[in-house]
Structure 1
């Protein structure tokens, strides 16, 4: 029974990721058509590799090391559910601006609704929580530790790149606004 639950849960999460990638592609096409530009292409492949390694490591640890859910499995399950809520709140708040890539529309104002009223990068908080909680839910503490540390490093790179891209888009917006006034 435990194997079925693990595969059902893993299938659910992987299906979510495939749907989210399709949404991201649609949003990217829409934003690009409006003049948006992509930043951070150099590190994106490492984020993709990290997420692939995450799922491979999770499966390997659960099956080869025969990990079992801990007695306190409800704590990571609750945190996972909260992270899901946060992630979908982020996605709906950003609308067409949500993406797995850094795609910035020059002249667009920063989104300040939903969780973005409280945090600068709430979507990344959801990702951090998921990459920690999913393995802990099944007792895969090695995956939780190693991939969470790698994820934090990559997110530190990504956030710097994203902030620079947003600053550049904002400064080009200010330049456009100033030129229109002259």
Structure 2
């Protein structure tokens, strides 16, 4: 269990938020990392491991034309996976992984090309954590290392957004306490 996963579960618990996960190359490792944290059941809705490209469309609502034109390893696909799992599982936050773990390239993308995405609630006045965010990774290592670094990266991206939401909420409360100034 990672400290990042522990902190994600803690912040979601404090904020009363819920999480859903869409995974491709990580094959359930993100969900396993989150559920290894005691108390995760308070915040974790579930996950969809959509390894097959067609399932990304059918279960997560990823645009079929996008998948046909660009393949599954694409920033828009990652963003749509995160948004789709958030909607499908009724969560406040959705995160997603898609990429090439190897040993061979896929859809014209090199081994180690990974996209991680987070989709969350719009936080009024905070500016961050609204809609979705995608990060492109260029990872080195063998298949297992690429998959584990993808898990770490998507959880780190979520943690950044949750911490930004937390900071925004604290700022809003400070403003209220200080008479709006």
Using the size of structure 1 for normalisation, the TM-score is 0.31
Which structure shows the higher strand fraction? 2
Output the TM-score relative to the length of structure 2.
0.31
More helix by share: 1
